[in-house]
Structure 1
Amino acid sequence: MFKKLVFPAVLLCAGTSHADEGQWQPHQLPQLKTELKRIGIEIPAEKLADLSRHPMSAIVSLGGCSASFVSDAGLVVTNHHCAYGAIQRNSTPEHNYIANGYLAKTRAEELPGGPNTLVYVTDKVENVSARVLGAVKPAMTGRQRHEAVEAAIKSLIAECETDKMYRCSVPAFHRGLEYYRIRQMMIRDVRLVYAPADMIGNFGGDIDNYEWPRHDGDYSFLRAYVGKDGRPADPSPDNVPYHSKDFLVVSAEGLKNGDPILLAGYPGRTSRYKLPSEIRDARDVAYPAKVAEIQADLDVIAAATKGSAADEVRYASVAKGLNNVMKKTQGLLDGFARKDIAAIKDVQDAQFRAWYAAQPKVSKTLLAELDAAIAADIALSNEEFGLYVATNSDLLKSARTLYRLALEGRKPDGEREPGYQQRDLAFIKARLTRLEQSYVGAVDQARYVASLQRYARLPAAMHAQGVDALLPAVDAVPALYQHSQLGDTATRLGWLGKDAAAIAASDDAFLKLAIKLNDVVTALEERRKEVDGNLERVIPQYMQAVIAWKQSQGKPVYPDANSTLRVTYGTVSPYSPKDGVTKGPFTTVEGIVEKHTGKEPFNAPAKLLEAIKAKRYGQFKDPVLGTVPVDFLTSADTTGGNSGSAVMNRRGELVGLNFDSTYESITKDWYFDRDITRAIHMDIRYMLWVMKEVDHADNLLQEMHIKYPKQ
C-alpha cells in the first residue's frame, strides 16, 4: 500500500510543517520555501539546498561537533568545548591553556590539534537506498539481512573512497527506510589558533550547563591545513592553510527578539519516532543506570586525580565529556518526570494503530513483529551496558582493539568488520595515541576496580552471557597493571600490525585478558547482528506507514538526527518554564559581574571585569540592550552534535554559535514541545568584543570579513 508514497511523503509533508520543529536534510528545504519566507529568511531555499554554494559550503563537521569557515584561509570557528581536546593536548601545568587561554599571533605559532582533531567538508549526498536494499531477500534471517546491508554499504564506501582525499559513509534515515551516501573531504592537519581562557569559554562550568540564563563565551578557532597541492595531507610544517571557497561573513549587527535565524550543523541523535515501550525502557532502566554509572566514574576520577595538577590536566577532557553526557541524561530523566512523554506517545501510538488497522492490504502481523523486535533489542542493550561497565579500563579497551584488529586482519579488507578495515587504521592509531594525553596508570586502575565492583551489583539482566566467569577478581586488578606495558605509548602502538599469533604469545596481562574475553564478546556481537537485522526488516515498514499516516494529517516528516548535515530554523524567543516565570531571550555582560564570585566556576578574568565596568562597548553595544549581549535563545530544533553550529541571520551571515539548550528542552530528543524548547547560542558580538577588548586578537579580527552596524 505504502510503496509509492515513501519517498514523496518525506518531501510533501514538509510544506505544512509546524514552525521551528524539524532537523531537515538540505535537499528538503525547497519544500519549506513558504515557511522560510514567512519567518523572514531571505536566502532562496534552492540555494540552501545546494551543498556547493554559500552558505552550506561553509558549514563543516569536526566529527562530533559542528563548525564553519570564517575566512578563505581555512579559519574555522566552533565552540570552546569542541576544541577542548586540542586545548588540553597542548596544555601542561606550566603552560595551562585550559585555564589561561591561547592566542597564536602568527601562523607559525598555531599549535597541532592532534590526530583526533579533524575537519570534514561535505560535498556530495546521494540517495543509495535501492543499492543498499537490493541484496535483501524476504527469507533472510536477521543476521543474514544485516550482513547483506552491511556488505552493500561497505561496497558503496569503497567505491566512494577510491580518491583517498574523501571519507565516505552510508547512514540510514528513517530507521532504515532510506540510505544516503555522504562524501566528505577529511582534513587531518588541524591546528589550534585561539581559545579564550576557561573562565570565559566555560564560565559557569557544569553548574550552568543546560541552564538559563547563561553567560558563556563558548568559542574557539582552529585552522585547516592541506598539502601544497590543495589536498588533505598528514600534519607537516610544509602544509599550507586550506583555501575555503566559501566562508561566512561575520555580522556584528546583531539580532532582536522575534528575528528569524537559520542554524546549520551536524546534530547527533534524536529519537522522535521511537515507540512508548522504548521510552519507558530509557526512562525506567537505561537512563537511571547510565546516570549512576557516569556519576560513580566521575567520583573515582576526581578522587584519584585530587592533589595532582598534572593528573587533573590529563583527565580534564575525559571528565568534561562525562559530565556533559551525565547532565544531559539526568535532564532527560527530569524531563520525563515533568511531562509524561510515554503517555503522550501512548495516545499517538493508539491513534496510529487504529489508523493502520483501517487501511486495506496491510500486514496483519507487522505490529506484533515490531513489538517483538524492540523487546529483543531492549534486552540485548541491557547486556551490552553491563559489558561496558565490566570492561571500563583504557588499557583493556586498547588490548581488545589490538587483538580484534589482528583477528580481522586475517580477512580480505571487504570482509572485515566495520571499524577494522584499512580505512580505519588511522583512527585506531589516533585513539591509541590520544591515550598518551589522557591516561595515568593509578587512575585507570582505580576506575577499573570500581567498575568491576559496580558491575557485580548490576541486575542479572545486565550481565552479558558468559562474561562473569572470565572477569578478574577485584583484588587481582593491581597485578594486571603491574604485568602490562600497554600504558607506554610506544609499546601500545608497537602492537599495531602484529598478527593474532604474536599477540597470543604475549605475556602482557591485558592482552591475555582481551583474548580470554574475545569469544563471549564476539558471540554478543553476533546476537546483535540478528537483533539489528530483525529491526532493519520491520522498522522501515513501520516508518513507511508512519510517514503515510503523518502525511494524511499534514504533520512534519523529517528523519531523526544521525550526525549528517541538517538545517533548522526558528526565531529569537523567550520562554516560560513554569507559571509566572518568563526567561530570555538575551543575557548581557552585566550578568557576568553579577555572577562573579572569584571562585570556580564563576571566576571571571580581571581584564574582562575591567572592560565591563569601564563600559568599553564600542560598536558591539546593542542599541536596545544598551550593552554587549552574551548569549541568546531561539526556538531552533537542535541536539548534541549541534555544538558549534552556525547561527545565521536572514541573509546567511554568522550571528551566533549554538552550544546548548535549556534544561527544560532536553527531552526534545524524544518529543518536540514548541512552547518550551529553546536552544542557547553565544552572541557573536560577545565573541568579537572579547577578541578586541580583552584578548586583543587583532590578527583574527582583521582576517575575518566582519560586517559592523551602521553608526
Structure 2
Amino acid sequence: MWLPPTLKSRENDMKEMGLQIPVEKLYSEDGTGLNNAVVLFGKGCTGEIISPKGLLLTNHHCGYGTVQGLSSKEKDYFANGFWAKSQAEELPCPGLTVSFIRKMENVTQNILSGLPDTLNTPQRDSIIATRIKNLEAGYRFTTKLDASIKPYYNGNQYWVSIIETFRDVRLVGFPPNGVGTFGGDTDNWMWPRHTGDFSMFRVYAGKDNKPADYSKDNKPYTTPAFFTINASGYKEGDFTMVYGFPGTTMEYISSYQLNHIANIIDPIRIEARTKKLDVWNENMQQSRDVFLKYTSKKASLANGWKKWQGEVRGLKLNNVPAKKQAYEAKFQGWANTDTEMPYLDDLLAEIGARSQAANPLIKQDEYIKEVVYGVELLQQASILDRILKVYRSGINGNSLQDTLAKIAAQSDGFYKNYDVATDKQVFRALMPMYFEQCSTCVPPAFSKQFAEQGRNYESWAAYVFRSLASDKAKLNNLATSVNPKDSTWILADPAWQLYSAINTMRQAQVLPGLNNYYNSMAYLNRLYMNGQMKLDNTRQFYPDANLTLRLTYGTVQGIDPDGPAGYSYQTNLTEAVAKDNPEVEEFRMPQKLKDLYQAKDFGKWQVNSTVPLAFIASNHTSGGNSGSPILNAKGELIGTNFDRIWEGTMSDLYFDPNLCRNISLDVRYTLFIIEKLGGAGWLLNEMKIVKK
C-alpha cells in the first residue's frame, strides 16, 4: 500500500514485475497523473473516472445506500435496476460526494520538529494538533482547496493530502440485485465469484468546472484525467495495480494485540451477528417491505460478519500468532544490542502486560457494542435521553417546542428503515447471549426488568418494546405535546431505562480504562513502529491504511487456499448461469440475462462462447478499496476491485502475497451488462475503449 509520491523508489521493482509506463504517469501534481482519475467515493469507497465527461465507476455495494434512498416500492431499483437513457435522466444523489487527491506531501518535519520520540504527554498531542490545524489552514489558503493531514507509520510520519470535493453526483446505472449482489452472503468473501458488483455515477460541476451544490444548470465535470479501458483481457502472471483508498490495516501490531482480535473481538462479533442476521434474513424473506428497509443495513452487517470469520480462519491456518511471536523474538534481540534507543529494551514486555490487563475491558465493551447496541431500539432510546436533557436544561416556550421538534425530525430516516417486530425478535435472540456470556457487564436495571418479567425473554421483549422510542408517532407526540409530565414518562420508559443503565455503566466502568489503554498503546506502538523501521533491514515498510490514496501492485494469480489443486484465476457468465436458482433470492438471476445467455447475444464482449466475469490477483487491498480500478501494465482499466478471498481477509493484519488475493470484476462483463442488459450502450460512446 505505497504512497503515490514515493513510487519512484518502487519503480525498478514494478518494472521487473511488468510495469510498462513511467511512475510519473501514475502520480503527478500537474493534473495529468492517474491519481486525478481516482476518487474517494462517499465516505469509505473508491471510484474511478472512465470518460472525459465525469462518468464514474464504482461497486454496486458502494452505491447501495444511496440507491436505497432513491428507491421505493414503485421504483424498486434493487429488483429492476436503473439505467439512465440520457444525461437528462440521471438522478441527483443528495449528500453524496466524490473527492480527488490533487497532491500529497510529506510534512513530518513541520509537525514533529523538536518533539522527542519518547515524549508522552498530553502537551505533545496538543502541540501536534495545533501544528496540524495551522498547517492545514495554510494549505487551504494557498491552494484554495481542502487539506487533510494524517499520521502514518503510527505517528512517525505525517502527510498532507490536497483535496477537491464535488457535491453534485448523479446516478447513471445500477444493475438489479440479481447481477450486482448475485451470490449474496453465501458467496461473499469467496472464490470462485460471479457477482456483477458495479454501479455508475456522474460527477457534475458548476459553469466554471468547479465543485458546486446541485443545480439543474450544472454540467458534467470535464476531467483532467480518466482511465482508458482495455477490453483485450489478461492472462495469469500479468502485472496489475490497484489504486484507491484502503481503510484500515494493522500490519505491524504485536502478537498481544493480535490476540485481542483473533480470540476476543472477532468471536464475539461473529456470534452476535449470526443471531441478528438469522432474524433479519427470516423476516426479509417473508416481507418485501422489511426487505427494502433492511437490505442496505444487512449488507453492511453481513459484510463484516463474513469477513471476520475468514480473518480468524486465515490467521489460524497460516499460524500468524506464532509468526508474530517469532518476529518479536528477533526484534528483542535487535533491541538488546542497540545503543541509540534504550527504551526499546522493555517495550514488548510493557505492550504485553498492558494488553493482557485490558482483556476483560475489551470483552465487556465488545458485548455492549455488538449485543446490547445490536438491538436498534436500545440505540434509538438515546433520542429519549436527548429529550430528557432538553427538559432539564430549563428552556421553555417556543424554544423548547422547536428544539424538541428538531430532535424528533432527526429520527425520520431511522423509522423509514425500521421494523419493530423484527427488532423485537433480535432482542429476544441477543439478550440470552448477553446474560450468559458477559454476566460481569450486566447492569442491575437489566436484571431487575428481566426478573420483573418472570425471567422470560419473550415477556421482557414485549415489555421493553412498549417504549416511546419504538414508534415514530409516539416519539412525535412526545416531542410536540411539551407536557412537563413527559419527563416522568421518559424516566419510566423501559427502553430508556436500559439505555441509560448501559450507557452509565460503560461511561463509568469500561471506557475510562479502555481509553487509558488505547492512549498508552498509541505511544508504545509508535515506538515499536519506529524501532522496527530503524532496526529491521529484512523488510520494506509501507504505512498502514488510513483511508488515504495508495497504490498496490501484484499479478493475476489463481489460488486454492486448501492445497495445490489450483482454482482458475477467472470466472465467466456460463458458471454464473449454472448457479441460477429462482427459489433463492441470492441466486435469482434476471430473466433477460438468462435470455441473453441462451441466445449467445454477447456482442463484442464474447470470449470462448461466454463473457469473462471476475478474476483474482495478488494485490494487497482492504476495506475502502471497494470500487478501486484494477490496472494493467500500461495503466489501463481492466477491472474493478470488489472483494478478497475468505482466508485472505487476514491481510488487514498480516499480508502474504502467496496466500492473499483480491477479487475484481472484469471490465468486459461490466460493459456487457451496460450495453446488453441495461440497454445503455450510449454510455460506451464516451469511453475510450481499446481492444486487440
TM-score by length of 1: 0.83
- Any idea what the Cα deviations from partners look like across 1:592-639, whole Å, max 9, x if unmatched? 2322333333332222223223333332234xx564211111111112
Q: Is the 8 A contact 1:304 1:446 kept in 2?
A: no
Q: Is the 8 A contact 1:200 1:604 kept in 2?
A: yes
Return the match for 1:663 from 628, 642, 646. 646
How far did residue 227 of structure 1 move?
4.0
> 1:640 is paired with a residue of what secondary structure?
coil
How far did residue 188 of structure 1 move?
3.1
Return the match for 1:44 from 9, 19, 22. 22
* More moved, 87-96 vs 636-645: 87-96
Q: Is the 8 A contact 1:391 1:448 kept in 2?
A: no
Report the CA distance shift for 1:488/1:679 in structure 2 as closer, same or farther (over 3 A). Answer: same
Q: Is the 8 A contact 1:189 1:234 kept in 2?
A: yes
Q: Corresponding residue for 1:12?
A: none
Paired amino acid for 2:252 = Y
Return the match for 2:178 from 196, 199, 209. 199
Alignment of 1:302-313 (within 5 A): 302-313=281-292
Distance 2:113 2:435 in 1: 45
Alignment of 1:588-667 (within 5 A): 588-600=572-584, 601-622=586-607, 625=608, 627-667=610-650
Return the match for 1:111 from 74, 77, 91. 91
> 1:581 is paired with a residue of what secondary structure?
coil
* More moved, 70-79 vs 43-52: 43-52
> 2:62 is paired with a residue of what secondary structure?
coil
> 1:534 is paired with a residue of what secondary structure?
helix
Q: Is the 8 A contact 2:377 2:469 kept in 1?
A: no
How far did residue 539 of structure 1 move?
1.4
Residue 548 of structure 2 is aligned to residue 560 of structure 1:
no
Q: Is the 8 A contact 1:249 1:704 kept in 2?
A: yes
Alignment of 1:110-509 (within 5 A): 110-115=90-95, 117-133=96-112, 149=128, 153=132, 168-361=147-340, 362-363=342-343, 364-376=345-357, 378-388=359-369, 389-394=371-376, 396-397=378-379, 400=382, 434-448=413-427, 450-460=429-439, 463=441, 469=445, 473=449, 482-484=466-468, 488=472, 507=490, 509=493
How far did residue 230 of structure 1 move?
4.0
Q: Corresponding residue for 1:32?
A: 10
Return the match for 1:54 from 7, 18, 33. 33
Q: Is the 8 A contact 2:256 2:351 kept in 1?
A: no
Q: Is the 8 A contact 1:504 1:515 kept in 2?
A: no
Report the CA distance shift for 1:333/1:345 in structure 2 as closer, same or farther (over 3 A). Answer: same
Distance 1:241 1:111 in 2: 13
> 1:577 is paired with a residue of what secondary structure?
coil
Paired amino acid for 2:365 = E
Q: Corresponding residue for 1:536?
A: 522
RMSD: 3.7
Report the CA distance shift for 1:446/1:132 in structure 2 as closer, same or farther (over 3 A). Answer: farther
> 1:264 is paired with a residue of what secondary structure?
strand
Paired amino acid for 2:151 = A
> 1:691 is paired with a residue of what secondary structure?
helix
Paired amino acid for 2:559 = Y
How far did residue 487 of structure 1 move?
5.3
Distance 1:159 1:98 in 2: 45
Paired amino acid for 2:82 = Y
> 2:61 is paired with a residue of what secondary structure?
coil
Structure 2 unaligned residues grouped into runs of 5+: 391-406, 451-458
Paired amino acid for 2:189 = Y
Paired amino acid for 1:632 = F
Paired amino acid for 2:356 = A
Q: Is the 8 A contact 2:468 2:475 kept in 1?
A: no
Report the CA distance shift for 1:590/1:238 in structure 2 as closer, same or farther (over 3 A). Answer: same
Q: Is the 8 A contact 2:241 2:630 kept in 1?
A: yes
Please state which structure has a larger fraction of its residues in helix: 2
Return the match for 1:700 from 679, 683, 687. 683
Report the CA distance shift for 1:56/1:215 in structure 2 as closer, same or farther (over 3 A). Answer: same
Higher Rg of the two aligned structures: 2
Paired amino acid for 1:673 = D
Q: Is the 8 A contact 1:631 1:682 kept in 2?
A: yes
* More moved, 363-372 vs 153-162: 153-162
Paired amino acid for 1:634 = A
Report the CA distance shift for 1:164/1:186 in structure 2 as closer, same or farther (over 3 A). Answer: farther
Report the CA distance shift for 1:245/1:204 in structure 2 as closer, same or farther (over 3 A). Answer: same
Distance 1:322 1:125 in 2: 33
Paired amino acid for 1:287 = D
> 2:642 is paired with a residue of what secondary structure?
strand
* More moved, 135-144 vs 99-108: 135-144
- Any idea what the Cα deviations from partners look like across 1:368-402, whole Å, max 9, x if unmatched? 33323433555443332133132334455456489
Report the CA distance shift for 1:591/1:529 in structure 2 as closer, same or farther (over 3 A). Answer: same
How far did residue 152 of structure 1 move?
5.3
Q: Is the 8 A contact 2:34 2:226 kept in 1?
A: yes
* More moved, 567-576 vs 27-36: 567-576
Q: Is the 8 A contact 2:372 2:378 kept in 1?
A: no
Residue 557 of structure 2 is aligned to residue 573 of structure 1:
yes
> 2:426 is paired with a residue of what secondary structure?
helix
Q: Corresponding residue for 1:72?
A: 52
Report the CA distance shift for 1:139/1:694 in structure 2 as closer, same or farther (over 3 A). Answer: closer
Q: Is the 8 A contact 1:572 1:632 kept in 2?
A: yes
Paired amino acid for 1:84 = Y
Q: Is the 8 A contact 2:380 2:469 kept in 1?
A: no
Report the CA distance shift for 1:249/1:459 in structure 2 as closer, same or farther (over 3 A). Answer: same
Return the match for 2:81 from 81, 97, 101. 101
Distance 1:120 1:472 in 2: 50
Paired amino acid for 2:653 = W
- Any idea what the Cα deviations from partners look like across 1:645-699, whole Å, max 9, x if unmatched? 0001112111100111222322222222222222111110111112222221122
Q: Is the 8 A contact 1:143 1:533 kept in 2?
A: no
How far did residue 96 of structure 1 move?
1.8
Paired amino acid for 2:673 = V
Paired amino acid for 2:335 = Y
Distance 1:456 1:151 in 2: 45
Q: Is the 8 A contact 2:3 2:551 kept in 1?
A: yes
How far did residue 150 of structure 1 move?
5.2
Distance 2:384 2:79 in 1: 35
Q: Is the 8 A contact 1:53 1:246 kept in 2?
A: yes
Q: Is the 8 A contact 1:586 1:631 kept in 2?
A: yes
How far did residue 318 of structure 1 move?
0.8
How far did residue 505 of structure 1 move?
9.4
Residue 74 of structure 2 is aligned to residue 84 of structure 1:
no
Q: Is the 8 A contact 1:506 1:512 kept in 2?
A: no
> 1:122 is paired with a residue of what secondary structure?
strand
Distance 1:473 1:208 in 2: 41
Q: Is the 8 A contact 1:146 1:533 kept in 2?
A: no
* More moved, 139-148 vs 688-697: 139-148
> 1:263 is paired with a residue of what secondary structure?
strand
How far did residue 77 of structure 1 move?
0.4
